[in-house]
């Protein structure tokens, strides 16, 4: 018997190790020791056994799916090729377990993109690998569930200078549809309304000032919002991003379509600290991760905050119940 008894019908979730030089493994193990994960799901750890053992895992805490590379854990605090090999192997095995229906969802610990590159991994991050492995187009929801804050991001991990050229009407409207569907599935809409109230953030300061500070609002964003409304969505905008966030924080909007990573993450972290999760939409199983990085500076020092990992597990368990 592993850990405390889970609640009846609890789903099986795979927890990847993330980069072994970061805080991912110790955050998961600390939750196992407290019994916190077993109150949410039936956890299965995935990764190199040596990595999990260094973090404190022992037989009896949870099942372990060993990736079996025979790697020694790299030293804490810096990206290395060995860490990239170990973290990618964990993600690959967890995704394949989910694809075979052996686990209901995957909670991924943070990885290092530099370590993946050093290891020769042909994918930049989780999102690129998930699209390659599943064949589905993904969308990234960044959220602080405990604070009622939900966003979807129209672009992923690309340079800020590339954002404007990456936006198109169809893609922005598709983000609105994806966020609408996600929030409706979670039951996050005002009573009596069919659709949640969404806001589309503008790209430029002051919403572009009628073209004085940029043309993207008139050329791309306003037509995308009109198309979404024509399809039945309650999508307002484009709204100057600072005003859109105020409206969301005050409960006047149920979610936001943001245009780039930091337009979502900076306000989320200002409001909710580390209590952020990253939920990948579009694939056949839930994939959720804590919304922080590897925290190399804290690794191995017993200072990891496991709260975001627990929040990710809770959302993954909830979504798995919706998808089954």
DSSP string for 46-69:
EE-HHHHHHTT--TTS--EEE---
Domain over 1-138+282-324 is classified CATH 3.30.565.10 = no
pLDDT at residue number 143: 96
* Residue 43 β-bridge partners: 13
Q: What interhelical angle do 261-272 and 241-249 show, nearest 10?
A: 40
pLDDT at residue number 218: 92
CA distance 179 to 173: 10
Q: Which two tokens stand for residue 8?
A: 């009846």
In contact, 88 and 51? CB cutoff 8 Å: no
Strand segments, DSSP code E, in 122-276 are 139-144, 149-153, 197-201, 234-239, 255-258
> Which secondary-structure segment (H or E) carries 279?
strand 277-281
CATH number listed for the domain at residues 139-273: 3.40.718.10
Give which of 157, 188, 152 is closest to 281, Cα–Cα. Answer: 152
Q: Which two tokens stand for residue 142?
A: 């960044």
pLDDT at residue number 210: 82
- Region(s) of the chain under CATH 3.40.718.10: 1-138+282-324, 139-273
Four-CA torsion 111, 113, 117, 118, nearest 10 degrees = -60
Query: From first to last of its 324 residues, what are the pLDDT tens digits of the chain?
Result: 566 666 666 899 999 999 999 999 999 999 999 999 999 999 999 999 999 999 999 999 999 999 999 999 999 999 999 999 999 999 999 999 999 999 999 999 999 999 999 999 999 999 999 999 999 999 999 999 999 999 999 998 889 999 999 999 999 999 999 999 999 999 988 888 889 999 999 999 998 788 778 889 999 999 999 999 999 999 999 999 999 999 999 999 999 999 999 999 999 999 998 889 999 999 999 999 998 989 999 999 988 899 999 999 999 999 998 765
Predicted TM-score of the model (pTM) = 0.90
């Amino acid at each position: 018997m592993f850990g405390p008894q889970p609640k009846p019908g609890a789903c099986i979730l795979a927890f990847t190790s993330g980069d072994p030089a970061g805080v991912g493994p110790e955050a998961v193990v600390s939750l196992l020791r407290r019994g916190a994960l077993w109150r949410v799901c039936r956890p299965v750890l995935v990764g190199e056994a040596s990595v999990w053992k260094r973090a404190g895992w022992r037989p009896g805490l949870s099942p372990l799916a060993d990736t079996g590379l025979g790697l020694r854990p790299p030293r804490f605090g810096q990206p290395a090729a060995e860490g990239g090999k170990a973290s990618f192997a964990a993600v690959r095995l967890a995704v394949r377990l989910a694809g075979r229906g052996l686990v209901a969802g995957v909670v991924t610990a943070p990885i290092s993109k530099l370590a993946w590159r050093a290891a020769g991994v042909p994918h930049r991050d989780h999102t690129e690998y998930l699209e390659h492995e599943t064949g589905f187009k993904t969308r990234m929801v960044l959220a602080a569930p405990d604070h009622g804050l939900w966003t979807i991001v129209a672009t992923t991990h690309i340079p800020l200078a590339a954002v404007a050229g990456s936006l198109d009407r169809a893609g922005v409207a598709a983000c609105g549809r994806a966020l609408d569907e996600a929030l409706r599935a979670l039951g996050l809409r005002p009573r009596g309304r069919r659709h949640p109230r969404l806001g589309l953030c503008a790209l430029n300061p002051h919403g572009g000032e009628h073209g004085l500070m940029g043309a993207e609002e008139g050329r791309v964003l306003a037509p995308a919002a009109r198309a979404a409304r024509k399809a039945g969505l309650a999508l307002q905008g484009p709204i100057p991003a600072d005003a859109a966030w105020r409206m969301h924080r005050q409960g006047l909007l149920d979610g936001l379509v943001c245009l780039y990573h930091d337009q979502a993450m900076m306000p989320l972290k200002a409001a909710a600290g580390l209590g952020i999760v990253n939920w990948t939409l579009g694939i056949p199983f839930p994939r959720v991760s804590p919304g922080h990085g590897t925290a190399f500076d804290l690794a191995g020092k017993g200072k990891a905050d496991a709260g975001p990992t627990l929040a990710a597990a809770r959302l993954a368990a909830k979504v798995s119940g919706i998808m089954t």
